[in-house]
Structure 1
Amino acid sequence: MEQQLEVFIKVAEKESFSRAAEELHMTQPAVSQYIQLFEREMGTKLLERSNKYVRLNKAGEIVYHHAKEIIGLYTKMQRLVDDVTKKTSGPLSIGASYTFGEYVLPHIIAHTLEKYPLIKPTITIGNTKEIAELVSGHQLDVGIIEGGLRNSKIRVEPFLKDEMYVVVSSLHRLAAKGKKEIDGSELNDEIWIVRENGSGTREATEEVFQLLGITPGILEFGSNQLIKESVEAGLGVSLLSQWAIRKEVELGKLEILKVKNLPFIRQFSIIVQTPFHTKAMDSFLHLLRADDLLYNIGKSPQHFQL
């Protein structure tokens, strides 16, 4: 059954018997035979076939979704059994939302591999909603997200405070006010550059709008780096994590505004689907929770001198 599931998943993703056969190092007739047998066992057709494409039908979409979960669980089960007698080693699939994934996680991974060189990590970066869905579907071992999460199936562990600041270009008119505190209402007429819905940073920004009592115009961009470049170019203002802006602030490219009732405080959280962890995952989580490691990564970024 495992082989049938893997063949079916590959055909569905490649939308081609020949491309799936090539990637699986099988002949095309063998792939076709696996699919025919699998459809017979399922009691229905799962794929729509034509001379131009192979696509999932409604039943196929259901089977594909669950097949991905089953393969993920089977792989995890094998690793857990192997861990009973082996050293800390093996694959570890990690997902992270953009802020943590782009600015903190690379340092954590480097330290992990220095201490446990036999661990083989794979990294997926997405917004909070995307990472939570992948962990829930057993396609990631562990996720690190920002913001809230409404999913009773996932274990959530807040582990790191994050301070978020309003930033502008160093040439922006509000930057000229120096370190004088401004009222949030002064930001209502500014264009705000924000992340997409589903992002933890977008969720925090919406909360800050409510906190400051403002309803500004917005531009929606899909990455922190693009937002920083746009703010630096004078396109607008934004709310960003201390981790995302520390280099630009040090270089004088971005200016933090001292705004009444800010910075905004949120938590980064670890999310997992199951209490059963491999040694590789337990070792990674131990390092992730280490306060001294995060301090050294950020060189104490917790408080900017406002």
Structure 2
Amino acid sequence: MDQQLEVFIAVAEKKNFSRAAQELHMTQPAVSQYIQALEREVGTRLLERTNKYVKLNKAGEIVYDHAKEILGLYTKMQRLVDDLTNKTSGPLAIGASYTFGEYILPHILANMLEEYPLVNPTISIGNTRDIAEFVLKHQMDVGIVEGDFQHDKLVIEPLAEDKMFIVASPDHQLVKKKKATPQDLVKEKWIVREIGSGTRKAADNMFKSLKISPQNMMEFGSIQLIKESVEAGLGISLLSQWAIRKELAMGTLKIIEVDGLPFIRLFSIVTSSPYRTKALDTFLEFVREVSSNGGSLSQ
């Protein structure tokens, strides 16, 4: 059954029997046989076929979604059994929101792999909402997310505090003021992340705390793009201390001083099962080290 699901997922994602066969190192007739066997077992057709492509029908979408989760659980089960007799090793699927994933995670992994070279991590970067969904469906072993995140079906462990500052280009008028007021900030053009991002939620919470509702906002899907845009004078933004370290040191970004800031948010560890591989436990040990200094990330 697991082989049928693996073949089905490949066909669904490649939208083509030949490309799926090539990826799986199988013949096209063998791929077709697996799909037909799965459809007989499920009791209905799962794919709509044309001369140019295949695509999922409604039943296929249901099977695809659950097949990903089933194979994720099956793989985790195999790794847990292997862990009983083997050293810390094997695959580790990590999801992280942008700030943690791009600015903190690489340093953690470098330290871990120096000591445990047999661990094979794969990293996926996304917004907080998407990472949590992948962990819930067992398509990732662990997620590191931003903000005050809650979910009744996931295990959430607060990890560390993150300080966030309002930044602008060096020649921005508010940089030159000793203290900017909420009335100053509400008039500015804000560059923010998309809904679902931990950084966007932090910005929205900050607006509430300052009792302002900026009307001039642009949504960008990348922290790097936001930084480049702020540097170019396109607007101002609220960003993590970790995302702006180099720019502050180089002087290409400056902090706008405001009463009540920096804004403090949390990084949290998200998992979905009490059963953990040695590779995951080892990774979590290294991750927790970043919060060993009074619960704050230290540089």
- Which bracket does the TM-score occupy, shorter chain normalised? over 0.9
Structure 2 partner of 1:252: 251
Superposition map of 1:60-139 within 5 A: 60-139=60-139
Structure 1 partner of 2:282: 283
| 1:266 paired to 2:273 | no
Structure 2 partner of 1:140: 140
- Which is worse superposed, 140-149 or 59-68? 140-149
Superposition map of 1:3-14 within 5 A: 3-14=3-14
Cα offset, 1:149, TM superposition: 2.7
**What is the CA–CA distance in structure 2 between the aligned matches of 1:275 and 1:256, rounded to whole Å?**
42
Structure 2 partner of 1:22: 22
| 1:33 paired to 2:33 | yes
Superposition map of 1:161-240 within 5 A: 161-177=161-177, 180-216=178-214, 217-240=216-239
CA RMSD of aligned residues (A): 1.5
Cα offset, 1:182, TM superposition: 2.3
Structure 2 partner of 1:304: none
**What is the CA–CA distance in structure 2 between the aligned matches of 1:221 and 1:286, rounded to whole Å?**
33
**What is the CA–CA distance in structure 2 between the aligned matches of 1:221 and 1:50, rounded to whole Å?**
38
Cα deviation digits, residues 14-42 of structure 1 (max 9, x gap): 01111101110110001001111110010
**What is the CA–CA distance in structure 2 between the aligned matches of 1:51 and 1:293, rounded to whole Å?**
59
**What is the CA–CA distance in structure 2 between the aligned matches of 1:273 and 1:76, rounded to whole Å?**
12
SS of 1:277's equivalent in the other structure is coil
Q: In the alignment, is the contact (CA less than 8 A) between 1:80 and 1:277 conserved in 2?
A: yes
Q: Which amino acid aligns with 1:242?
A: Q
Q: Which amino acid aligns with 1:276?
A: Y
Cα offset, 1:293, TM superposition: 7.8
**What is the CA–CA distance in structure 1 between the aligned matches of 2:155 and 2:128, rounded to whole Å?**
14
Cα deviation digits, residues 157-181 of structure 1 (max 9, x gap): 011100111001111111122xx22
Q: In the alignment, is the contact (CA less than 8 A) between 1:167 and 1:255 conserved in 2?
A: yes
Q: Which amino acid aligns with 2:282?
A: S
Q: In the alignment, is the contact (CA less than 8 A) between 1:185 and 1:212 conserved in 2?
A: no
Cα offset, 1:257, TM superposition: 1.2
**What is the CA–CA distance in structure 2 between the aligned matches of 1:184 and 1:215, rounded to whole Å?**
10
SS of 1:258's equivalent in the other structure is coil
Cα offset, 1:268, TM superposition: 0.1
Q: Which TM-score applies when normalising by structure 2?
A: 0.96
Identity of aligned residues (%): 65
**What is the CA–CA distance in structure 2 between the aligned matches of 1:149 and 1:90, rounded to whole Å?**
29
Q: In the alignment, is the contact (CA less than 8 A) between 1:142 and 1:270 conserved in 2?
A: yes
Q: Number of residue pairs matched?
A: 297
SS of 2:175's equivalent in the other structure is helix
Cα offset, 1:291, TM superposition: 3.8
Q: Any gaps of 5 or more consecutive residues in structure 1?
A: 302-306
Cα offset, 1:276, TM superposition: 0.4
**What is the CA–CA distance in structure 1 between the aligned matches of 2:225 and 2:129, rounded to whole Å?**
20
Q: Which amino acid aligns with 1:47?
A: L
Cα deviation digits, residues 168-217 of structure 1 (max 9, x gap): 1111111122xx22222211110000000100000010111111121221
Q: Which amino acid aligns with 1:182?
A: A
Q: In the alignment, is the contact (CA less than 8 A) between 2:192 and 2:217 conserved in 1?
A: yes
Cα offset, 1:294, TM superposition: 8.0
Q: In the alignment, is the contact (CA less than 8 A) between 2:175 and 2:257 conserved in 1?
A: no
Cα deviation digits, residues 212-239 of structure 1 (max 9, x gap): 1212210110011000000010011000
Q: In the alignment, is the contact (CA less than 8 A) between 2:97 and 2:125 conserved in 1?
A: yes
Cα offset, 1:150, TM superposition: 3.6
Q: Which runs of 4+ in 1 moved over 6 A?
A: 292-295
**What is the CA–CA distance in structure 2 between the aligned matches of 1:252 and 1:76, rounded to whole Å?**
46
Q: Which amino acid aligns with 1:232?
A: E
Q: In the alignment, is the contact (CA less than 8 A) between 1:100 and 1:144 conserved in 2?
A: yes
Q: Which amino acid aligns with 2:103?
A: Y
Q: Which amino acid aligns with 2:185?
A: L
Q: In the alignment, is the contact (CA less than 8 A) between 2:95 and 2:143 conserved in 1?
A: yes
